[in-house]
Every structure is written in structure tokens, then in C-alpha cells.
Amino acid sequence: MSAMRPLILASASPARRRLLESAGLTPIILVSDFDESSIIENDPEQLVRVLAQKKAEAVISKLPGAIQGKQISIPGEILVLACDSVLALGGQIHGKPRDANDAIGRWKMMRNETGDLWTGHALYLLELSSTSARILKSSVQAPRTKVHFANPSDSEIQAYVRTGEPLNCAGAFALEGRGGLLVRGLDGCHSNVIGLSLPVLREMMIEMGSEVFV
């Protein structure tokens, strides 16, 4: 196996960055700016798989120029990771709420129910030259975690939405934040709900021939 390669995280999500850092990984942040609304897909698993791939590919298209000054060896190999999460509940797919009223309506539907939180993971191994980025390997996974929601009152829902936290989260809740108070339990990977499954990432990195512990 090779030593740890540099890792680009194709996401502006602070939660995903913190998850990687908590696992001893220091990502280079490059935001994809991919238009998620351009993808129409009714199956949540397929949706997050496609969105993760598109986000990763959008960042790859900016290389190597976008990493100028990042102290990355060229020529050399690098990993690019992109993720996307949605909540599926009641036959509907939910990303981030449009506004506070949308978040309140979502929570009134979610309370005392169980939803499926899907997170697509797309990991690419690239060989960089001074002028191009060649894809050597790629892997796409989309694990699911069942989320059992509590039964908050209307006033609790309104107070939570006023914090602003749910407006930036798929499913209108942040498990690692105050939204954790409104979740009764999980079936599946905890970090997957936050936006990135660390066990799945480990398996994908091993598939790429990259050490996780160095």
C-alpha cells in the first residue's frame, strides 16, 4: 500500500471537514459549485450517487490549476472526495429546506417518524501533471442510515428553526448540533447522517491503495 495521498474535499460543508479532521485527515477544500438542481432523479440512492460523482468531476475539471500554491507534489497522485446527502421519508426526497417555513413544515411531517438518510460518496484517485489530471481509479458508495425522529411540539419545532441550524442541512436537522436533541435513535452509521461515513471512506481509501493510519 502507498502512504497517505493528499485529499481534496469537494465540499463547503464544515461538518464534513470536521469529520475528516477528527479522523486525522487534513483535507484541501475545493468547492465544486455544481448546480444540484440540474439532476432530476426519483430514487434517493441513485440521486446521491450521481450528485457526488458530478461534484467530484466538477472539481477534477479545475485541476491542477485550482491547487496552485497548496504544496502538492506535481507530478504525483491525489484523492478527490465528494459527498451529497438527502433524507427520504414518506415517499419524498428532502435536501436542504428552502426557508424557515419549509423547515417548520418538514419537521411537522418528520416528527415521530422514521426516515432514510442517504449519503453518496465519490472518491477518485488522480495522477496530476503540470497540465492535466488523469483519473486512475474511482469508487462510488451510497450508504443508508435509518433515523428515528422524536416527537417535538410545535413550539419546539419553531424554536429549533429559529436557531437557523436546520436551514443548512439535508433533512432540516444537524445530528451533531441541537438537532441531535430531536433524534430518538439511529440504525446504521452515525457519521453518515452528519454527511460522511468514516467507515465507508476507510473502505474506499483501501480500495484506492491508500493508507488510513500513517
Active site residues: 84
Distance separating alpha carbons of residues 94 and 170, to the nearest angstrom: 7
Q: In terms of Cα–Cα distance, which of 84, 15, 21, 40 is closest to 7?
A: 21
Residue pair 3/211 in contact by the 8 Å Cβ criterion: yes
Task: Give just the sign of the alpha carbon dihedral 7, 198, 196, 120.
Answer: positive
Cell numbers at 135, concatenated: 483519473
CA distance to 28, 131, 197, per residue, from 145 (Å):
27, 40, 10
Bridge-based pairing state of the strands 114-128 and 144-149: antiparallel
Q: In terms of Cα–Cα distance, which of 105, 86, 104 is closest to 96?
A: 86
The alpha helices in the chain, defined as continuous H runs, are 14-22, 44-60, 100-110, 154-162, 190-194, 198-207
Backbone angles phi, psi at 102, to 5 degrees: -65, -40
